[in-house]
Chains A and B, each alone.
Chain A
Amino acid sequence: MNKIILVILLCTLALTLPLSPTKRAFSTGVGGELPFGGVQGFTLICTCSANTLHYIFDYRVKSVLPLVYQPGVSKLYAKWNIWGRYFLGSYRPGVRSCLIFVGEGCITIQSAGMMGSFPGTGTSGL
């Protein structure tokens, strides 16, 4: 039941955004954030930075966006479910990286940005 509500929420968001007066502002970034939406390939667990890096094919820009999900900062819809297959939301470009442990220290895996909070991100849960 909760999955159905989440899917309806995401579909409603996808359908209403193009009609919304916020479209222009959103396409140029709200709160410095850009919209994205697409399907995830896989997830990297960032052992040194306590976050995760999600490789998402963004249907909007038709390319892969590696986006950081930062617990406590990135805002999630509904079930707070980050482990879904489809993502729809906003991200803040150029913010946050993923750090993983290699040998004697940590290395930085650059990201396209961090999932944000204007309006945040939701997953299909499917």
Chain B
Amino acid sequence: MFMARTLTLIPLFVLTVALPLSISAAIVNFERNLRLGDSGPDVKALQVILNANPLTHVASSGPGSPGDESTYFGFLTKQALIRYQELHSQDILIPAGLASGTGYFGLLSRAFVNSLESSKSSGGSPVVLAVEPAVIERDGEEVIIRGGNFDSDNNTVFIAGESTDAFTNLSSLDGKTLRFVYTPSFIAVVREQLFKASVGRDYQTVVQAFGSNIQERLPGHDEALVALAAIVENSNGKSQTFNLIINLSALLLVQ
């Protein structure tokens, strides 16, 4: 009897030790570092997390795309992870003294993702998983924040460069989405500056020069994409810092 029970438990024990991540009620906890060439169920779990945000999709179709995540950490996973790390640079890169993503899923990256996953299950602080649209290109665009632990009302979104009372009393019917209309406050100021500065010059050329000189501009894009740090706050606490990405070039060229 004892022998039979022991034999039954052995595969369970082996399975528990062998799995490099814990999965409980769809909440994952990464327990090893991941790099190019690795494989396993934790790689697939990582791809699912990367695919939650259109800006960090592993692939748009085929293996690695949303719903078709794979267990192999290939080049596409590395590139998506680099974008993810740069989107969450305040929590992952800056504490390590890094300016750009590495594509290595190490201690800080794991800690950040694990804390997000933990928040999802704990009923604790708000957690932000994705922002739509991935890039804001028009005035007055509706922004949707997807995540969890949002209150039914009285959620506040704080955005760098904006008033603290600009996005307050936001409601969330499902506790997972927040919606608000966003026009960056500084756009009108910059437009006026550039109209004055471009007298006798081509406005579009001036906008391009302006965009190319922005310190916080995201690398690797032709247009001036700027990350604005933001957080969600409600009665449960504060979310992690996340970024709203705006296309400054497009916003400035709209008359």
CA distance A107 to B215 in the complex (A): 18
In Å, the complex CA distance between A52 and B215 comes to: 9
Flag the segment in A10-18, A24-32, A54-62 that touches B: A54-62
B residues within 8 A CB of A64?
A: 161, 185-186, 189
Interface residues of A in 79-119 (CB under 8 A from B): 85, 100-103, 107-110
Least Cβ distance of A51 to chain B in Å? 12
Question: Which residues in chain B, 184-224, are within 8 Å of chain A measured between CB atoms?
Answer: 184-186, 189-190, 193-194, 196-198, 201, 205-206, 209-210, 213-216
Q: Is the CB of A39 within 8 A of B162?
A: yes
Complex contact B161–A42 (CB within 8 A):
yes
Majority-rule SS of B interface residues: mixed
B229 within 8 A of A: yes
Please state if B201 and A102 are interface contacts (CB–CB under 8 Å): yes
Query: In the bound complex, do residue A109 and residue B193 qualify as a contact, i.e. CB atoms below 8 Å apart?
Result: yes
CB distance from B175 to the nearest CB of A (A): 27
Q: Which residues of B contact A35 (CB under 8 A)?
A: none
For this complex, into which size category does the number of interface residues on chain A fall?
Answer: 20 to 34
Nearest to A57 among chain B residues (CB) is B161
How far apart sit A45 and B241, CA to CA, in the bound complex (Å)?
A: 25
Interface residue total, chain B, C-beta cutoff 8 A: 28
Q: How far is the CA of A109 from the CA of B211 in the complex (A)?
A: 13
Known: A42-B215, A44-B215, A57-B163. A108 touches B197 (CB 8 A): yes
Task: Name the A residues within 8 Å of B205 (CB-CB).
Answer: 102-103
Decide: B189 and A55 in contact? CB cutoff 8 A: yes
A47 touches B198 (CB 8 A): no
Chain B residues contacting A20 (CB-CB under 8 Å) are none
Task: Tell me if A40 counts as interface (CB < 8 A to partner B).
Answer: yes
Interface residues of A, dominant DSSP: strand
Considering the chains assembled together, what is the distance between the CA atoms of A118 and B81 in angstroms? Answer: 45
Q: Is A41 an interface residue (CB 8 A)?
A: yes
Q: Which residues of A contact B196 (CB under 8 A)?
A: 110
Q: Is A46 part of the binding interface, using a Cβ–Cβ cutoff of 8 Å?
A: yes
B214 touches A44 (CB 8 A): yes
Q: Which residues of chain B come closer than 8 Å to A62, judged between CB atoms?
A: 163
Contact A109 to B210, CB < 8 A, known contacts A64-B161, A102-B201, A102-B205: yes
CB pair B209 A100 closer than 8 Å: yes
Q: How far is the CA of A109 from the CA of B201 in the complex (A)?
A: 14
Report the Cα distance A9→B164, complex, angstroms: 22
With an 8 A cutoff between CB atoms, is A22 at the interface?
no
Closest to A48 in B: B213
A100 and B214 contact, CB distance less than 8 A: no
Contacts A41-B226, A44-B213, A55-B189 known; list 4 others, CB within 8 Å: A63-B185, A100-B213, A109-B194, A110-B193
Instruction: Write the residues of chain B forming the contact surface with A, with a CB cutoff of 8 angstroms.
Output: 160-164, 184-186, 189-190, 193-194, 196-198, 201, 205-206, 209-210, 213-216, 226, 228-229, 248
What would 30 A/B residue contacts be, using CB atoms closer than 8 Å?
A: A39-B162, A41-B160, A41-B161, A41-B184, A41-B228, A42-B186, A42-B228, A43-B215, A44-B213, A44-B214, A45-B214, A47-B213, A52-B215, A55-B190, A57-B161, A57-B162, A57-B163, A57-B185, A59-B163, A59-B164, A64-B161, A64-B185, A64-B189, A66-B190, A100-B213, A107-B201, A107-B206, A107-B209, A108-B197, A110-B196
